[in-house]
Amino acid sequence: MDTTFGQQAHKFIIADDHPLFRNALRQALERSFPDTEIHEAQDMETLQQCVASHRDCDLILLDLHMPGSLGFSGLAFISGQFPELPVMVVSANEKPEVMCRAIEYGACGFLPKSAPVETIAEAINTALAGEVWLPAGVAEQYKRDQQNGSDVAEVMATLTPQQFRVATMLAGGLLNKQIAYEMKISEATVKAHLTALFRKLSVHSRTQAVLAINSLEVEEPGQFTPQPAPV
């Protein structure tokens, strides 16, 4: 089957920490979208840099489980900081409830990593047309069970890049001095970021903040072995 759609050039950003899957998805995109321009990111920090440099990209393909991100926090942050850029989640976690939550938190679609090339092309073309794409059965469930987005996700969307890093490190159990060391900033600056974070989350302690942020966590999927796109 010919999965090539039109001749318009597109620009994509693939954000996934697994090089093999990034390569497999790149092959699928290059086969379906002629003259496409593709940029890659392996963690949240490089994704932020990549998006800032390519604000004209057509679609971000985002894995939920990347270094520097906790569950839906990365999706909420990117959707909030760059609302003009559509984000499609691509994940090996294929639970319908996870797919529906991704849409609630700002994604324009959810593409299972097991999807064949034909489905990838269909999903991405739907997103490029400004519509939401979900696997057929899940799409029907989402229409039935549509809910409002999380307040915590809305807060994550308002954070600065440094506040976001502090939040994810806090949720990871790091102490202020460890966060300061990792980010190469002073402990006083870390405390200032935490104060702003607590205020936005309407919490009064580290424990409450961690519980709030962890509400965005997503169960890790099982082992996934990417397959190269057929030729």
Q: What is the DSSP string of 72-119?
A: THHHHHHHHH-TTS-EEEEES---HHHHHHHHHTT-SEEEETT--HHH
The pLDDT of residue 110: 94
C-beta of residue 62 within 8 angstroms of C-beta of residue 87: yes
Percent above pLDDT 70 for the chain: 86
Q: Which of 137-141, 156-160, 176-180 has the lowest mean pLDDT?
A: 137-141
- As a whole number of angstroms, the distance between CA 108 and CA 6 comes to 21
Mean pLDDT of the residues in the chain? 86
Q: Are residues 27 and 91 in the same domain?
A: yes
Interval 129-148 mean pLDDT: 72
Q: Quickly state the pLDDT bin for 138 (edges 50, 70, 90).
A: confident
Q: Tens digits of per-residue pLDDT, 65-110?
A: 889 988 899 999 998 888 889 999 999 988 888 888 888 888 999 9
The pLDDT of residue 153: 85
The pLDDT of residue 145: 54
Q: Tens digits of per-residue pLDDT, 3-20?
A: 444 456 899 999 999 999
Higher pLDDT, 113 or 147: 113
Q: What is the CB neighbour count within 10 angstroms for residue 221? A: 17
Interval 179-204 mean pLDDT: 92
Answer yes or no: is 122 within a domain: yes
What's the CA angle centered on 78, arms 85 and 205, to 5 degrees?
Answer: 160
Exposed, middle or buried by CB within 10 Å (0-12, 13-18, 19+), for 122?
middle
Please tell me what DSSP assigns to residue 148.
Answer: P
C-beta of residue 36 within 8 angstroms of C-beta of residue 59: no
Answer yes or no: is 175 within a domain: yes
Q: Are residues 76 and 184 in the same domain?
A: no
Given a cut of 70, whether residue 135 has pLDDT beyond it is: yes
The pLDDT of residue 164: 93
- As a whole number of angstroms, the distance between CA 231 and CA 217 comes to 37
Q: Are residues 134 and 38 in the same domain?
A: yes
Q: Does the pTM of the predicted model rise above 0.85?
A: no
Q: Are residues 31 and 95 in the same domain?
A: yes
C-beta of residue 9 within 8 angstroms of C-beta of residue 47: no
- As a whole number of angstroms, the distance between CA 45 and CA 150 comes to 23
The pLDDT of residue 1: 44
Number of structural domains the chain divides into: 2
Answer yes or no: is 1 within a domain: no
Q: Are residues 17 and 114 in the same domain?
A: yes
Enclosing domain of residue 139: 11-145
What's the CA angle centered on 27, arms 129 and 60, to 5 degrees?
Answer: 40
The pLDDT of residue 20: 92
